[in-house]
């Protein structure tokens, strides 16, 4: 997974991540997080049919779970990362959540902005650390 993401980074070297809207960061982070989760779910549950794999993935990527994750790993974040989460949380998306409270939706957007920020910034070591912590936190708290 890490090698795949590193390959994608070659595309992003020209992007100034500091100038991007937090909603653009969240857009990228959403895709990155879902791909990471799909890979981990498949690796950990290789014999399950795709329908069950999909249900497991949805449990991770829904807004309420992402909100719980960002709260659970908050102490692990650097100050600059917390600032990105806050920018994402405070961004006005213009859409309303279907299956989550607005507060959860905003924190989920903050989490996705953080993932997108680390991806576009090209900090793969930190991105993988945060993604691994997120996965472990969710699994530990949702048995």
Residue pair 37/61 in contact (Cβ under 8 Å)? The answer is yes
Active-site positions? 30
Distance CA 87, CA 91 (A): 6
Based on the number of CB atoms within 10 Å of its own CB, is 38 exposed (0-12), middle (13-18) or buried (19 or more)?
Answer: middle
Distance CA 26, CA 39 (A): 20
């Amino acid at each position: 997974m890490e090698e795949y993401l590193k390959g994608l980074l070659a595309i992003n070297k020209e992007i100034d991540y500091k100038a991007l809207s937090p909603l653009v960061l969240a857009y990228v982070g959403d895709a990155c997080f879902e791909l990471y989760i799909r890979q981990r779910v498949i690796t950990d549950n290789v014999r399950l049919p795709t329908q069950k794999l999909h249900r497991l993935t949805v449990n991770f990527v829904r807004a309420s779970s992402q909100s719980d994750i960002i709260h659970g790993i908050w102490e692990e974040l650097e100050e600059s990362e917390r600032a990105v989460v806050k920018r994402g949380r405070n961004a006005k998306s213009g859409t309303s959540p279907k299956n989550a409270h607005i507060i959860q939706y905003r924190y989920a957007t903050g989490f996705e902005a953080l993932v997108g920020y680390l991806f576009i910034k090209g900090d793969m070591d930190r991105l993988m650390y945060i993604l691994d912590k997120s996965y472990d936190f969710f699994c530990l708290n949702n048995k």
